[in-house]
């Protein structure tokens, strides 16, 4: 036997005695042993004598307008929740509660996006919660969508709207396929959540059926050995620029993301003992967890990387919670600085913070380091990810073991 949610209307659910003598009206939801209440905001608090509460006659309050609002809302919720159960879709008290809120407030799709992002980490364990950077990407999608259309109603969310948004990203913002697909993935997740609350007239997957955005092959830029030496050996006129140049050099030597580097603390530097070929030696490592995926990274610090740390952080004499690098600027400003640094050093490449990470991977692979070690240093979840991104693109890997021929 199919069990449907029980939806009812209650007055003064807590049994309070108010000086004013008026009390709010609530929708009560009960399903699978769980219950919750949602206040009906379209109906003002009413006195006890005006409450009838007779569901058999659909008569709840004496005011006809308020009574109609209650009956319409109640009918809508019952039809929606029963439809979900009949179709075999998962539904909970929390889902019904969210649906009621959306139905009451006549949310626009834009407002739903904001609510979805605000509630994205609710009722999730620490390990399941999305990172700050991931939430930022949802906010980035929200910004672009609101630029596209500041007010979109749920009945306007259609395949045509999705296609129009994709063209907006391509034409108005000149976004490449990779960037457009990132926004569309966020769009799809949000549409799935809206459908779960019964707010869309289309199945969320059908909305994206006709969208096929081709992604361009990425051309990862890395520095040559000579360019890394130039970065190390040539000073810049401005001391502040010189500081950022050496922070960038540290990225090239450690493989860290700039966002992870900004949060590096003294406690992330460790001295460990390693035995190689029967000889024990002490080495310095940087270890921590990436912001992006919470994966651990472990990088052995080269002598040049240690020099940078000693020069700017004086790490051995500082408390464990002190940041290794002070006064670091935002990603955008740092990338802008790198453009100026490249010009002054006459490095004819588009330098960004990620170029440091790509350079580290190329330096490691070109020297024959095992791909698993490179993967561990980069904080990838799988070595196959590292192999796919860097192993097949490494020029050194492509020619290592090459058998020369003569004509």
Q: What is the pTM of this model?
A: 0.55
The owner of tokens 């042993």 is: 33
Give dist(CA 293, CA 380) in Å, integer: 8
Give dist(CA 73, CA 104) in Å, integer: 8
Q: Quick one: which of 249, 253, 263, 244 has its CA closest to 336?
A: 244
Return the structure tokens found at 25.
């009206």
What's residue 384's pLDDT?
Answer: 59
Q: Checking phi first, is residue 21 left (phi over 0); if not, alpha (psi -120 to 50) or beta?
A: left
Domain boundaries, the chain: 6-105, 109-207, 225-399
- In tens digits, the chain (407 residues) has pLDDT values of 778 899 999 998 887 777 788 888 899 999 989 999 988 887 888 888 898 888 888 888 899 988 888 888 888 888 878 878 887 878 888 888 877 776 665 788 999 999 999 988 887 788 788 888 889 999 999 999 999 988 888 878 888 889 999 999 999 999 989 899 999 999 999 999 998 888 887 888 899 988 898 887 767 788 999 999 999 999 999 999 999 999 999 999 988 889 989 999 989 988 888 777 778 888 888 888 888 777 888 888 889 999 998 888 776 778 889 998 988 999 889 999 999 999 999 999 999 999 998 888 888 887 777 777 777 677 666 655 555 555 555 555 544 454 555 54
Give the single-character DSSP code of 213: P
* CATH of 109-207 among 1.10.1740, 3.40.1130, 1.20.5, 1.10.150: 1.10.150
Q: Quick one: which of 261, 176, 161 has its CA closest to 211?
A: 161
What's residue 141's pLDDT?
Answer: 96
45, exposed or middle or buried, with CB in 10 Å at 0-12, 13-18, 19+?
Answer: middle
Q: What is 225-399's CATH number? A: 1.10.443.10
What's residue 220's pLDDT?
Answer: 79
CA-based torsion, 72, 73, 74, 80: positive or negative: positive
What's residue 399's pLDDT?
Answer: 46
What's residue 30's pLDDT?
Answer: 92
Contact 4, 82 (CB under 8 A): yes
């Amino acid at each position: 036997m199919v069990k449907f949610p029980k939806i009812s209307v209650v007055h003064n659910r807590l049994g309070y005695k108010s000086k004013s003598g008026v009390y709010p009206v609530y929708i009560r939801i009960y399903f699978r042993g769980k219950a919750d209440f949602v206040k009906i905001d379209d109906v003002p608090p009413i006195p006890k004598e005006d409450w009838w509460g007779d569901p058999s006659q659909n008569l709840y309050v004496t005011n006809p307008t308020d009574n109609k609002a209650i009956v319409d809302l109640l009918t809508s919720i019952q039809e929606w929740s029963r439809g979900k159960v009949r179709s075999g879709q998962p539904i909970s008290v929390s889902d019904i509660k969210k649906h009621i809120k959306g139905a009451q407030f006549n949310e626009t799709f834009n407002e739903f996006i904001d609510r979805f992002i605000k509630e994205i980490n609710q009722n999730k364990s620490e390990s399941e919660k999305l990172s700050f950077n991931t939430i930022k990407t949802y906010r980035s999608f929200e910004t672009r969508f609101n630029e596209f259309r500041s007010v979109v109603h749920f009945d306007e969310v259609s395949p045509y709207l999705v296609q129009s948004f994709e063209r907006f990203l391509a034409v108005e913002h000149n976004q490449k396929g990779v960037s457009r697909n990132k926004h569309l993935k966020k769009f799809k997740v949000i549409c799935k959540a809206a459908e779960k609350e019964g707010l869309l007239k289309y199945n969320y997957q059908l909305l994206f059926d006709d969208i096929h955005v081709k992604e361009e092959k990425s051309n990862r830029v890395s520095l040559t050995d000579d360019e890394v030496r130039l970065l190390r050996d040539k000073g810049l006129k401005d001391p502040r620029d010189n500081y950022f140049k050496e922070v960038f050099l540290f990225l090239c030597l450690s493989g860290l993301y700039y966002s992870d580097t900004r949060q590096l603390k003294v406690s992330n530097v460790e001295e460990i003992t390693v035995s190689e070929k029967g000889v024990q030696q002490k080495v310095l490592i940087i270890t921590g967890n990436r912001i992006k995926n919470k994966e651990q990274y472990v990088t052995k610090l080269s002598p040049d990387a240690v020099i940078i740390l000693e020069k700017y952080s004086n790490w051995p004499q500082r408390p464990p919670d002190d940041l290794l690098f002070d006064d670091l600027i935002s990603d955008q400003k740092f990338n802008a600085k790198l453009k100026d640094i490249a010009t002054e050093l006459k490095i004819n490449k588009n330098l960004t913070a990620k170029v440091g990470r790509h350079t580290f991977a190329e330096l490691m692979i070109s020297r024959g380091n095992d791909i698993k070690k490179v993967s561990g240093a980069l904080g990838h979840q799988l070595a196959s990810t590292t192999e796919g991104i860097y192993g097949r693109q490494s020029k050194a890997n492509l020619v290592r073991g090459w058998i020369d021929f003569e004509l």
